[in-house]
A and B are shown apart, each in its own frame.
Chain A
């Protein structure tokens, strides 16, 4: 019997089911949305949806729970790693992740993130670095780049006056309890593939009980950078990546 070639089509990209099918409150071009989608995909790929407890933080992503449909507790500003510690200690079988912005994690919550990491808490932290306090209107963050203009450093961040941007992936990698720390970007397809791998590995360190997992996403905030989404995305490659080099800063699986 001769076979008749037939053109079929296959759905190759659709939203993960755990990502709510609702419009988001994010500004056009805001990459929180991409990072949410990747988190949702990883939860599904690892079969974690049913046993996940998420900790949302204070920033534009406070409404994480409207989009990622898992059990969630809202942490006070900066305290997500401490709240996640309490959650994980209370429910050692749960998969626990915190999702934090740069103001939340690197400024007000610096003690909590460093110590949760140092204790090697079996939790995963998704860190979104957009170099500003997005939710409150684009003020200077600890990650704001030298010369970058914000509403509280209108002439540009000055190293002498305000210090330099904090590189969290590197700082976290220096701590003993950390199993994995990486910095990624979602500005191009190539970087997105790397980002997905890093996020998977971050989750995997918790699944395997290896230690604390951390992944820093470089992301845009077109609104507060006061540029178009496309220009904001271009800035990631032109300015952010040179100042915040991408890469894996620690991976326990690759050591000894």
Chain B
């Protein structure tokens, strides 16, 4: 049984998804375009018996997340690009200390203060580590309000499954858009979660330690080897939407809001008789490289569309290397793309070669 459909913004869907997924600590700092999340959670979180803290900065918010995560309590912070830059310190420490937590980035235009409009300029920051050191964060990219809700659930599940920070990378489009969302039954909080590592006070057992400092000879190598194994295992979590790629000559690759807009353009062009499909990565890390490689092996060509000057296209090219290449079409920030804007670039790519 699931609750009644609600008509909410993507931002709210994340907040509600988090509550239903058992999130009981929220830490944040105001920044457009994600303020709906802290605003709703400032009352909803205490009402659910949880804790809401407006931190003094994103640096502090992310470190509060680290602290709550160390206790094995489901916790989240949300922000947008400049704020997420400030969170990279804690995210790196969380990855190093193997702490689970959810970090939401409603990507806005950059670099610097940029603008407050939608952008995918933080792709590299999200999937290539972002902070210092050799680590990865699982990254989920919702394209609809329902996905905002559902992927928040997934994010918490994955965070605890892998003891790793998980990013939700949205943008100002999906955050601000209102759509019907079907909520789920709230997850009962499992008191056994994190049972063998979380800090509770030592009680009668041996003290536990969560740290990222490994100074002894060979210790860091050992830890990083462990992490590497974990990142390998995460490959099993790949999610993507495949829209009519089987019969396509050209596969458009786009994620998040842009993936959704591109899909409308692809659909229109298919109706006009062009052999086009779309692959929309839902997990950006792990990247659906095997799916792309299989398409390349089947002789498809690729066009990557992004709301930036070309970031994910590197990963597409890596995935299909030796078999194919990818064209690229980039949308500049400050520009809300429509499906029409993608029609010509797709048509041109379909003609090319």
Task: Write the B212-250 contact mask toward A (1 if CB under 8 angstroms, else 0).
Answer: 110000000000000000000000000000000000000
B335 within 8 A of A: no
Which residue, B55, B63, B69, has most C-beta atoms of chain A within 10 A? B63
- The size of the chain B interface, using a CB distance under 8 A, is 40
Query: When chains A and B are docked, how far (Å) is the Cα of A125 from the Cα of B119?
Result: 41
Query: When chains A and B are docked, how far (Å) is the Cα of A99 from the Cα of B73?
Result: 23
Given the interface pairs A70-B202, A74-B97, A112-B56, the reply to whether A90 lies near B51 with Cβ below 8 Å is: yes
Q: Which of A7-15, A28-36, A45-53, A239-247 contacts B (4 or more CB under 8 A)?
A: A45-53
Query: When chains A and B are docked, how far (Å) is the Cα of A95 from the Cα of B200?
Result: 10
Q: Which of A53, A85, A111 contacts B64 (CB 8 A)?
A: A85
| Cβ–Cβ < 8 Å partners of A79 in chain B | 59-60, 63, 66, 89-90
Q: Are A76 and B200 in contact (CB under 8 A)?
A: no
Task: Write the A61-87 contact mask toward B (1 if CB under 8 angstroms, else 0).
Answer: 010010001111111100100111111
Q: Are B66 and A86 in contact (CB under 8 A)?
A: yes
Q: Are B56 and A89 in contact (CB under 8 A)?
A: no
Which residue, B67, B208, B212, has most C-beta atoms of chain A within 10 A? B67
Given the interface pairs A86-B70, A90-B73, A91-B71, the reply to whether A65 lies near B63 with Cβ below 8 Å is: no
Q: Which of B55, B60, B70, B93 contacts A87 (CB 8 A)?
A: B70
Which partner residue on chain A sits nearest B212 by CB separation?
A: A74
A179 within 8 A of B: no
Query: When chains A and B are docked, how far (Å) is the Cα of A95 from the Cα of B199?
Result: 12
| Cβ–Cβ < 8 Å partners of B207 in chain A | 65, 69-72
Q: Are A53 and B90 in contact (CB under 8 A)?
A: no
Which partner residue on chain A sits nearest B67 by CB separation?
A: A86
A115 within 8 A of B: yes
Q: Are A65 and B70 in contact (CB under 8 A)?
A: no
Query: When chains A and B are docked, how far (Å) is the Cα of A76 from the Cα of B70?
Result: 13
Query: When chains A and B are docked, how far (Å) is the Cα of A119 from the Cα of B211?
Result: 26
Q: Are A73 and B67 in contact (CB under 8 A)?
A: yes
Given the interface pairs A53-B199, A73-B199, A112-B60, the reply to whether A84 lies near B212 with Cβ below 8 Å is: no
B273 within 8 A of A: no
A55 within 8 A of B: yes
| Cβ–Cβ < 8 Å partners of A93 in chain B | 201
Expressed in whole angstroms, the minimum distance between the Cβ of A98 and any Cβ of chain B is: 10
B271 within 8 A of A: no
B196 within 8 A of A: no
Query: When chains A and B are docked, how far (Å) is the Cα of A95 from the Cα of B201?
Result: 8
Which partner residue on chain A sits nearest B208 by CB separation?
A: A71
Q: Are A76 and B67 in contact (CB under 8 A)?
A: no
Q: Which of B65, B89, B202, B211 contacts A86 (CB 8 A)?
A: B65
A residues 85-107 touching B (CB-CB < 8 Å): 85-91, 93-95
Q: Which of B59, B64, B203, B213 contacts A74 (CB 8 A)?
A: B213
Q: Are A83 and B209 in contact (CB under 8 A)?
A: no
Which partner residue on chain A sits nearest B72 by CB separation?
A: A90
A residues 129-153 touching B (CB-CB < 8 Å): none
Q: Are B209 and A65 in contact (CB under 8 A)?
A: yes
Task: Write the A37-63 contact mask toward B (1 if CB under 8 angstroms, else 0).
Answer: 000000000000111110110000010
Query: When chains A and B are docked, how far (Å) is the Cα of A50 from the Cα of B207?
Result: 9
| Cβ–Cβ < 8 Å partners of B24 in chain A | 90
| Cβ–Cβ < 8 Å partners of B59 in chain A | 79, 82, 111-112
Q: Which of A53, A86, A95 contacts B75 (CB 8 A)?
A: A86
| Cβ–Cβ < 8 Å partners of B57 in chain A | 111
B68 within 8 A of A: yes
B residues 106-154 touching A (CB-CB < 8 Å): none
B318 within 8 A of A: no
Query: When chains A and B are docked, how far (Å) is the Cα of A73 from the Cα of B69?
Result: 10
Q: Are B27 and A86 in contact (CB under 8 A)?
A: yes
| Cβ–Cβ < 8 Å partners of A72 in chain B | 199, 207-211
B190 within 8 A of A: no
B8 within 8 A of A: no
Given the interface pairs A72-B207, A73-B210, A79-B60, the reply to whether A86 lies near B69 with Cβ below 8 Å is: yes
Query: When chains A and B are docked, how far (Å) is the Cα of A157 from the Cα of B211?
Result: 35
Given the interface pairs A49-B202, A90-B71, the reply to whether A83 lies near B64 with Cβ below 8 Å is: yes
Q: Which of B56, B66, B200, B213 contacts A71 (CB 8 A)?
A: B200
Q: Are B202 and A73 in contact (CB under 8 A)?
A: no
Q: Are B75 and A90 in contact (CB under 8 A)?
A: yes
Expressed in whole angstroms, the minimum distance between the Cβ of B197 and any Cβ of chain A is: 10
Q: Are A52 and B64 in contact (CB under 8 A)?
A: no
B343 within 8 A of A: no
B185 within 8 A of A: no
| Cβ–Cβ < 8 Å partners of A83 in chain B | 63-64, 66-67, 70
B25 within 8 A of A: yes
Query: When chains A and B are docked, how far (Å) is the Cα of A69 from the Cα of B69?
Result: 21
Q: Which 4 A-B pairs have the closest CB atoms?
A: A86-B67, A86-B64, A82-B63, A74-B211
B-to-A contact residues, CB < 8 Å: 24-25, 27, 51, 53, 55-57, 59-61, 63-73, 75, 89-90, 93, 97, 199-204, 207-213
Other A-B contacts than A69-B207, A115-B55, 16 sampled, CB-CB below 8 A, are: A50-B202, A53-B70, A70-B202, A71-B209, A74-B211, A75-B63, A83-B64, A85-B64, A86-B68, A87-B67, A87-B68, A90-B68, A90-B71, A91-B71, A111-B60, A115-B60
23 inter-chain pairs at a CB distance below 8 angstroms, sorted by A residue, are A53-B70, A53-B200, A56-B211, A71-B208, A72-B210, A73-B66, A73-B97, A74-B210, A74-B211, A75-B66, A75-B93, A85-B60, A86-B25, A86-B63, A89-B67, A90-B68, A91-B73, A94-B199, A111-B57, A111-B59, A112-B60, A112-B63, A115-B56
